[in-house]
Structure 1
């Protein structure tokens, strides 16, 4: 470590410079000059949408070595104009939490323990059950012969963490599948 010189005291630097008020460069330490922000060291910046509510605030996700290091509001977003609520501003902690589960877990009926599944297997299980429920509970006509073309075996309860476009696509999917019980948590 370099020896400290009294010439580096802020008041001495202030008197030696043209910074008479002591609010400029004379009061900035070398440590402060050497400090850089986390965002300056990022490898890339990815645009995203906040996952917490249905507002859809824009986020800039700063990534270094394939790890999220900072999340800030996106000033180019017409919705949030660079601002985030406290939950949105803390979403980096959601991504990097030590307790975050990143595996697909499945508990068979009446089983005590969870088992890990690979993603393709889990998706196939969901798709097979969806198709089977639709087939098993399909209603073409009612008792009087009126066309129904619906299933009572599928229902959807969406969450408020997806934006309008995703809700629109979910509604289209379930309607095309014949489901009529389609609801969203944000309306309840």
Structure 2
């Protein structure tokens, strides 16, 4: 039968082959039979958490040759049950963006250009500034002689892109350093 025969029209073909609802061979073509999912080429699947907000939606990250090739919602997650919002669905672009900065940048006071720093130098600068601010703002006692043991020189603002465990550890760090101004974006 020729392709243009009226007997080959989709509705007639469905009725002729017993596929009245069009869910069997009538909906398939050579092209669709050859298509495979882009994630089928992945070397491994890593479970992760979406980095965007405090909800903590589960993600499946598909990796091939140590490069992220796709991210989908994790159906095993009790929080999101396999669903992701538009930002979570696009988080693969966050990882693979050609404009993503992967080095430490520093712009000195008064400078107009950024320079790259190595990890150790950057950590030393942050530590020195943290300790100096803590020292400058330290308060042993108040006006009435009551013990305070706190600093007003540093404050902490946690981000909702961190999970509960990371925020808990950051809270403990700032509390141990004597800071009392500690807040989190997810609570504000």
State if a TM-score over 0.5 links the two structures. yes
Count of residues in Structure 1 that have an aligned counterpart in Structure 2: 182
Q: Hey, what does 1:176 align to over in structure 2?
A: 176
Q: Hey, what does 1:66 align to over in structure 2?
A: 66
Q: Which runs of 4+ in 1 moved over 6 A?
A: none
The TM-score with structure 1 as length reference comes to 0.85
Q: Hey, what does 2:140 align to over in structure 1?
A: 140
Q: Deviations over 1:54-87 (max 9, x none)?
A: 0111100001111111101111111111111111
Secondary structure at the aligned position of 2:166 is classed as helix
Q: Hey, what's the Cα distance between the residues in 2 that align with 1:20 and 1:149?
A: 79
**1:44 matched to 2:44:** yes
Tell me how far 1:18 sits from its aligned partner.
Answer: 4.8
Q: RMSD of the TM alignment (CA)?
A: 2.5
Report matched runs for 1:1-188 at 5 Å: 11=8, 18=17, 20-21=19-20, 22-188=22-188
- Identify which range, 60-69 or 135-144, moves more after superposition: 135-144
The TM-score with structure 2 as length reference comes to 0.85
Q: Hey, what's the Cα distance between the residues in 1 that align with 2:66 and 2:35?
A: 23
Structure 2 unaligned blocks of 5 or more: none
Secondary structure at the aligned position of 1:127 is classed as helix
